[in-house]
Amino acid sequence: MMRWWLAAPLSVLFVLPAWAADRPIDEKAWQEVREVVKQLQARYEKTKDMQADFSQKTKIEGFERPVTSSGKVYIKKPGRLRWDYLDPATEQIYVNQDDVKVYVPEHKQVLVGKLTQMAASKAPLELLQGAAKLDESFEIEPTRGKDRGAGGTPLITLIPKAKEQESSQSLQKIIVEVFPKTYFIRTVSLYEISGNVAVFEFSNLKPNLGLGIEVFDFKTPSDVEVVRAPVLNGP
């Protein structure tokens, strides 16, 4: 199964629709997005850790059906994340700052690498870990078109900044939807330059549970092979 962290090399060509004739975004839209970003960042500033359920749907041009999966995600400041795929197959991703371990029980392998060397990984993880400081890594703007999020909240478009292009060169943009009352992230849509679109939807969010560090520490079983992850970026 294709995971978001290896989406780039498995992608196929797909042309995204052009912005509606590059029409300018009105000031009201900018004001709405600024307010949403302000509320979102304030919420995540106060969030020390979080547990949530997620579902993922990845659309690939040329394939009739999207690839779907689901599981749980755990986040802890600073820089800790655990991503458990539970259906249709089990897979665990552990992140500690720039270190990444991907455990696939079925294959009895753990893939070990660096986050900065895994092009398709860095931007979404950076978003989940650093939602309180979006403007450090992304240009923020209103999302074009008439689509709105839950409760009529405006959608936010994030464009990776130039300084981030080397590590997130496969990513064109991210569209973020928040819950209307809590301002936690509800959906994240990743649009790759190659054409893949991966949509993550979060539910059953539980912030500030006091998650212990043991939740994020992976201990390699004795019968598991350790493999170095391929470097997805170019030289």
CATH of the domain at 194: 2.50.20.10
146 domain-assigned: yes
pLDDT tens, 187-205?
Answer: 999 888 878 898 999 999 9
21 domain-assigned: no
218 domain-assigned: yes
pLDDT tens, 5-22?
Answer: 433 222 221 222 233 334
Which pLDDT belongs to residue 21?
36
9 domain-assigned: no
Write down the pTM of the prediction.
0.80
Could you give the number of structural domains in the chain? 1
Most confident option among 77-81, 122-126, 165-169: 77-81
Which pLDDT belongs to residue 138?
81
Lowest average pLDDT, out of 4-8, 30-34, 92-96, 101-105, goes to: 4-8
3 domain-assigned: no
172 domain-assigned: yes
Which pLDDT belongs to residue 179?
95
46 domain-assigned: yes
The residue segments making up the domain with residue 112 are: 26-228
- The string of DSSP letters for the chain reads ---GGGTGGG----PPPPPGGGPPPPHHHHHHHHHHHHHHHHHHHT-SEEEEEEEEEEE-TT-SS-EEEEEEEEEETTTEEEEEEEESS-EEEEEETTEEEEEEGGGTEEEEEEGGG-HHHHHHHHHHH-GGGGGGTEEEEEPSSS---GGGPPPEEEEE-GGGTTTSTTEEEEEEEE-TTT--EEEEEEEETTS-EEEEEEEEEEE-----GGGT-----TT-EEEEPPP-S--
70 domain-assigned: yes
pLDDT tens, 134-159?
Answer: 777 788 899 988 889 888 999 999 88
